[in-house]
Structure 1
Amino acid sequence: MAKKHIFATAAMAVVGLALAGCSGGGASSDNTIDGKPSGEITVLTQRTDLVNTTFKDYAAEFEKAYPGVTVKFEAIKDYEGQVKTRLNTKSYGDVLAIPNTVSPNQLSTFFEPLGSIDKLSKTYRFVTEQAYSGKGYGIAITGNAQGIVYNKKVWAAAGLSDLPTTPDEFLSDLKAIKSKTDAIPLYTNYKDGWPLTQWEGNRGIFGDENASEALITDKSPWKPGKYQYVTDGILFDAVHEKLTEADPTTTDWESSKGLLGSGKVATMVLGSWAVSQMQDAAKTAGASPDDIGYMPYPVQSKGKFYSTISGDYKNAISKYSQHKAAAWAWIKWFAAKSNYSYDQGGLSPLVDGKDAPIYTALKKAGTNFIEVKVPAGKKAAWESAEVKTSEVDLYGPIYRQKMVDIARGAAPGDKNSYFAELNKAWGQAVSDVAAG
């Protein structure tokens, strides 16, 4: 299974967890993260594809550096679903990636603080994305840009050499691919659901680092010209124009990588983390990994492309770990020594780290990187509250799956009626949450 994470503020954006049995507590007070690393630690991971290969090599190298520590891995296929449930127990490993279902004000309930934001930010990027009350709770396993993975060979076969700069140009290009090649122009991965959440990650396309703060006070984000309208409009129109897979209910994530790698699919909206996986799939299919490219989202602001960058899943320490110093040592080693980020085509989690080559290519295309700020203070949990109140799961698959169904004629309504429905639900939630 692939790594599935998305835009940083996903950590704020879904329903709250039941907190029964999770009052804080944890290991004894003398078991601090700054003690001598020792003991056996269990690391939960969503990378089922690497756990018996690359991760074993990591463990061997780490144990050489810390001979008093043993590392075990537990790979979880349905990471979000299973870990969300386990957080209501005391059994969720020593080190784990913070699930998207944990809102900022819940971090201290489940995880050990790693230090102040001021201190952590001197070494690590993206530390404000999993923080609360000035404390950081997670270190990114890697960083991502947001945009579109595409098969360059297919796009060239359709006569397309320039990158699209507007949604209309993008849709026109998809139509050219449909008419001039045998490839599926755009693949939604509807059935697996989570790939649809990747569309939310492009909030910075207008060059506004305060886009998330604007969203949580906006009562009509699905109006023309606004981000939600633009990004969901592209998806809706592509499906409506039959530029996506014929039967979205039969899609499959793992096989879709081979489809894009071999040129049977032209385009997917995914974070930059997907590039290395598509390149591997191309090699497996007997194609060239050089066929895989990454383009900025087809929107420009004042003539410039903007790509949102953010941290991926954040490694954190369980409040209930009995070996917190060893867990902290692993997190720091993983960020600084494993080379995971570079090998997976990512942005380094270190301030002075080395980024993968794909980002050089994006910059050559004139792309500006932007970090969208996470709202602070009392507004830190507003988005998650608005998602829960409105039942519009921005970082879940449900509302976009419904949108796809409407667009393909499998559910009643049209784009205008559905966007009006979303505005009504979201607008009421904004009012309710702001009122306290």
Structure 2
Amino acid sequence: MKRKLITAIGIASLMVSVAACGSDDGKDSTSKGAGPDSFKGQTLRVWVMTGSAPEQWTKDLQAAFEQKTGAKLKFEEQQWDGIQQKITTSLSESNPPDVLEVGNTQTPAYAATGGLADLSDVKQAVGTDWTPSVSQSSVYDGKQYAAPWYFANRVVIYNKKIWAQAGIKDTPKTRDEFFKDLDAIGKKTDAEPIYMPGQNWYFFDGLTIGQGADLVKKEGDKYVSNLDDPKVAKAMEIYKKYASYSQAPKDKDEANPQQAEVFAKGKTGAFIGMGWEAGTAIKANAAIEKDLGYFTIPGETADKPEGVFLGGSNLAVAQGSKHKELAKEFLKLALSDKFEGELAKLNGVIPNKKSLESNLQGNVVAEAAAPGAAVGGTTPLIPEWAAVENDPNPIKAYMTAVLKGKTPAEAAKQVEGEINKRLAQQN
């Protein structure tokens, strides 16, 4: 599932403008009322990222699509490396792929260029009950420019052996209970209670979501930093408390070193990460597998989990597609309960409807992640945000500054100039 994290966090370059190109090839791009042979002779091209579409899922969907429409369906697998520029270029050309998988937080940037088609009619057909928190990234300027496809978020991955040594019998249901458990591990075992590097910034983003905070605010016609918001400061103080139980470096993120490999040594009580990181830990030390456990990141109260960053993918139709109506028929089928449920079951990803989460039963990681979907969110859904995450990420600098002694207000002031400069780059 490593690909799913990359979907969300690989936004490191600015999007460039694309011109919406859309001439018809005369082959019934506006056909209505799909049925057998409605689009006979057409071929729909769909770009999906490596690993996103299981072989069985694509096989089943191709058969159903061709039976329904009479058209051919061609999946073209793409690599994550360099995909943003490749999509940007394709959307400006006269023959783009008809349907594209795009990262959820990348969607506003593509929509802003005019490169994506309006899918409001698809939402009315199959998406009226999409989970609001996962659907919001597919909306830009009030219009539905994509459809939510799948998502993943962070969970607590813990060492059952260490927790048992600390006398902990049940997993925590609230944040305070979690801190008490970390206290117990620190006092009753030789283990590091939790591994929490100073710059695990997507976990911090989840905490801001949990506080109802925004990382940017609008002043006039432009966006500026909102790190000086007391709610953001509260989220950072919560993060600081987590970090107080850790010996991890304050100026590194979760990949440097890879936190799962640190955890694999068997001397750490827990870490907060993506489900695929459990596999990384097992690869580093196969013996750790028997001690692995998972639970939802607890929030302030037992009835509401902690806010989480929802990383994942949307499906969009190119504005320049010569087969827009056929593309919409594909989306209605691919996003139907049958195929959305099958994808969740095969890939262990969070589906776009809460009613379909029953397909995750038996997948312990997905079951731990699913409760966070309803209260999760993303980074700011504005085209300008992509530049903020470019290295060196000023949000990470803010976090390190707080952990090294500055107040959240002081740290915010230290980086807000750089954030505002980056937010202004696309104005």
Q: Does TM-score exceed 0.5, indicating one fold?
A: yes
- TM-score, normalised by the number of residues in structure 2: 0.68
Say whether 1:398 aligns with 2:404: no
Displacement after TM superposition at 1:399 (Å): 1.9
**Structure 2 gap segments, 5+ residues each:** none
In structure 2, relative to structure 1, the CA distance for the partners of 1:251 and 1:96 (3 Å cut) is same
Aligned to 2:97: 93
Say whether 1:78 aligns with 2:91: no
Cα distance in 1 for residues equivalent to 2:31 and 2:112: 16
Superposition RMSD in Å: 5.1
Aligned to 2:111: 106
In structure 2, relative to structure 1, the CA distance for the partners of 1:179 and 1:221 (3 Å cut) is farther
Structure 2 contact 119–146 (Cα < 8 Å) conserved: yes
Aligned to 1:64: 63
Q: Counterpart of 1:331 in 2: which secondary structure?
A: helix
Q: Deviations over 1:15-36 (max 9, x none)?
A: 86321xx221224285248564
Cα distance in 1 for residues equivalent to 2:422 and 2:225: 11
Cα distance in 1 for residues equivalent to 2:30 and 2:152: 31
Cα distance in 1 for residues equivalent to 2:236 and 2:7: 16
Cα distance in 1 for residues equivalent to 2:120 and 2:91: 24
In structure 2, relative to structure 1, the CA distance for the partners of 1:265 and 1:109 (3 Å cut) is farther
Displacement after TM superposition at 1:148 (Å): 3.9
Displacement after TM superposition at 1:165 (Å): 4.2
Displacement after TM superposition at 1:315 (Å): 1.2
Structure 2 contact 145–316 (Cα < 8 Å) conserved: yes
Say whether 1:315 aligns with 2:308: no
Displacement after TM superposition at 1:200 (Å): 1.1
Name which of 411, 417, 420 aligns with 1:418: 411
Structure 1 contact 112–318 (Cα < 8 Å) conserved: yes
Displacement after TM superposition at 1:186 (Å): 1.7
Which amino acid letter does the alignment assign opposite residue 63 of structure 1? Q
**Structure 1 gap segments, 5+ residues each:** 375-379
Displacement after TM superposition at 1:39 (Å): 1.1
Percent same amino acid at aligned positions?
A: 13
Displacement after TM superposition at 1:141 (Å): 1.9
Structure 2 contact 91–115 (Cα < 8 Å) conserved: no
User: Which has the larger displacement, 120-129 or 180-189?
Assistant: 180-189
Q: Counterpart of 1:77 in 2: which secondary structure?
A: coil
Aligned ranges for residues 16-55 of structure 1 at < 5 Å? 17-19=15-17, 22-28=18-24, 30-32=28-30, 36=38, 38-45=42-49, 48=50, 50=51, 55=54
Name which of 194, 210, 216 aligns with 1:185: 194
Cα distance in 2 for residues equivalent to 1:179 and 1:5: 37
Structure 1 contact 147–294 (Cα < 8 Å) conserved: yes
Cα distance in 2 for residues equivalent to 1:33 and 1:184: 60
Which amino acid letter does the alignment assign opposite residue 124 of structure 1? W
Displacement after TM superposition at 1:111 (Å): 1.3
Name which of 143, 146, 150 aligns with 1:142: 150
Aligned to 2:210: 205
- TM-score, normalised by the number of residues in structure 1: 0.66
Displacement after TM superposition at 1:289 (Å): 7.0
Structure 1 contact 222–419 (Cα < 8 Å) conserved: yes
Structure 1 contact 6–201 (Cα < 8 Å) conserved: no
Structure 1 contact 44–97 (Cα < 8 Å) conserved: yes
Aligned ranges for residues 262-341 of structure 1 at < 5 Å? 263=266, 266-270=269-273, 274-275=274-275, 277-278=276-277, 280-281=279-280, 285-288=286-289, 291-297=292-298, 299-300=299-300, 304-308=303-307, 312-336=312-336, 337=339, 339-341=342-344
Displacement after TM superposition at 1:408 (Å): 7.7
Aligned residues: 394
Structure 1 contact 189–251 (Cα < 8 Å) conserved: no
Which amino acid letter does the alignment assign opposite residue 109 of structure 1? G
Q: Counterpart of 1:103 in 2: which secondary structure?
A: helix
Cα distance in 1 for residues equivalent to 2:351 and 2:417: 40
Aligned to 1:122: 128
Aligned to 1:377: none
Aligned to 1:4: 5
